[in-house]
Structure 1
């Protein structure tokens, strides 16, 4: 057995009907620190785990596991028989140049999961 292990959950997504109302509620009622909003996408800090809210009708949450290197995790898990939805790809570049990378795959019941990592600017 190799040394590969998934890291802690880095992000959980939830579907909401109105992002602006959800931002108000999660920020003002629950008191979660609001990180940023991009259109219909809003992000909050839950003590180190990011909560990602977006509009939609599906109720399923996606588990995003932190890994040091998304490409290495992709290769290791692919070698174990995991079928990915696509190659690792950059999701977002922050103002400071930090890049967010993810790769998505499904569990045996079709539930969506992801591995995620960040790259510091060079």
Structure 2
């Protein structure tokens, strides 16, 4: 039986590859691996983010970035110009007391991204 492991890459269409590179690398601070034509790749803690200049998908998946301290991450990203839909908020409290906190924000194409943290 096949056992799926960690996500190795996430693909996301973007309308303007240079604007996306500037946002994901410059604003969000993701390490830029390389750009090849209308394709750009970033490292997200071992998962590769693959951006391609293509408007084909209307509902791309939401990318959730784990952070150690969601309030600090929220404050720093806001200082860099990220406009969040709302402040970090509790999404779920597990039976063991661990809380899942998230805050959502759009990229330049309006696709949702989120920061997330487990608190407890």
1:12 matched to which residue of 2?
none
* Matched pairs, number: 71
Question: Any idea what SS the aligned residue of 2:90 has?
Answer: strand
Q: Deviations over 1:82-116 (max 9, x none)?
A: 00000100100001000000000011111100000
1:95 matched to which residue of 2?
95
1:73 matched to which residue of 2?
73
**TM-score of the superposed pair, with normalisation by structure 2:** 0.53
CA distance 1:81–1:89, shift in 2 (3 Å): same
1:47 matched to which residue of 2?
6
Q: Give unmatched runs, 5+ long, in structure 2.
A: 9-57
Q: Give unmatched runs, 5+ long, in structure 1.
A: 1-28, 33-45, 50-57
**TM-score of the superposed pair, with normalisation by structure 1:** 0.52
Q: Deviations over 1:56-77 (max 9, x none)?
A: xx63200000000111100000
1:113 matched to which residue of 2?
113
